Amino acid sequence: MSTYLTMEGEFTFPTKEKYDSAVALLQSGRWMDQQGYLLDETGVRKSDEADATPNLLTINFPYGYYRNIGSPIDAFKDGTTGLLVWTCTDGMFQGGVIRDGVEKSFDLEKWAKEHGHAAAPDAATDFDEYVEWQAEIEEEFMAESEQ
């Protein structure tokens, strides 16, 4: 079973060894090619420039939809600096912010209510409206969390 995350951000690693380990993990799972570009699930590069920058010990995660990348990120986020924001509507409605290696997760229905949004529409009676509501909340969460 796959889990899809919408995410964006950047990590800088404390050592070359930790950076190399993260790159190797991403490459072995086919999330990154040998030139340092992150890939979508069909193998297409997500950006025009390499996402891995060895001289800065940085990996940039361009805004996009990523398949099964949560576990690898959990494996290498500790000790990093930077910010990565993610959301998931794949069987859940959650979001998270990883700032300087520390992750904070959010129930996005609760987050939406705390930020003045109406309750989610009933997915059973108006699925399209529910999906639109989720997309609006995701967009706002991503934008607010990136600050």
Structure tokens at 11: 């990590």
Query: What is the full per-residue pLDDT of the chain (147 aa) written as tens digits?
Result: 689 999 999 999 999 999 999 999 999 999 999 999 999 888 999 999 999 999 999 999 999 999 999 999 999 999 999 999 999 998 899 999 999 999 999 999 999 999 999 999 999 999 999 999 999 999 999 999 987
Write out pLDDT tens, residues 94-110: 999 999 999 999 999 99
Q: How far, in Å, CA of 61 to CA of 70, rounded?
A: 12
The alpha helices in 29-89, defined as continuous H runs, are 70-76
